[in-house]
Amino acid sequence: MNEETAAPAPAIDRGTQAALIFALVAERLTTYYEQALWPTEAQGASLAADWLRRSKRVLPLAERKRLSALSDHLARQIAASLSRQAGLYTVHEMTESLDPNYFSEIGGSLLAECEQALASERATLPAWDAEPALPRARGHPKNMIEAAPPEVHYDFRFAA
């Protein structure tokens, strides 16, 4: 099957974007606590591409970099507000929360923070820039912004 006849990649909804930010935050914090280094925006975007490829999804580089930057900001906020021991525990809970069979209040509240960061970032953008995955340069009208789905589904299958 060549690229032209291949089935289109599944759309990346807001829940999946929040889940991707969550997984990137967990990865950033893990790297920070284990190596005292912060992954770059490009490294986060590359990691996101690898995870998405596992579920046969794609996201433009600009969108992956935007989500990577959001995850970096959130990860640094978390690290600044926790002791090393509390941070290590939080990272453990976040990593375990990537398993859909594991329930964690910490993971759930941080996932809500990721969704809030995504929502607040979109609220601050002008209407025509609210969906970077649909750039105007490719002929998309300014007002062609999808409304948020009434029910958000979190999909962590890309991080397995």
Nearest to 153 by CA among 25, 17, 57: 17
Residue 93: inside a domain: yes
Total number of domains constituting the chain:
1
Residue 157: inside a domain: no
Residue 138: inside a domain: no
Residue 1: inside a domain: no
The 8-class DSSP code of residue 125 comes to S
Residue 80: inside a domain: yes
Dump pLDDT digits (tens) for 3-43: 444 555 566 788 889 999 999 999 999 999 999 999 999 99
Model pTM score: 0.72
Q: Which domain holds residue 49?
A: 14-125
Cα(85)–Cα(100) distance, integer angstroms: 25
Residue 117: inside a domain: yes
Dump pLDDT digits (tens) for 55-81: 888 899 999 999 999 999 999 999 999
Residue 115 C-beta-side C-alpha neighbours within 13 Å: 18
Residue 133: inside a domain: no
CA 65 to chain centre: 10
The 8-class DSSP code of residue 127 comes to G
Predicted local distance difference test score (pLDDT) of residue 13? 84
Cα(44)–Cα(38) distance, integer angstroms: 10
Residue 8: inside a domain: no
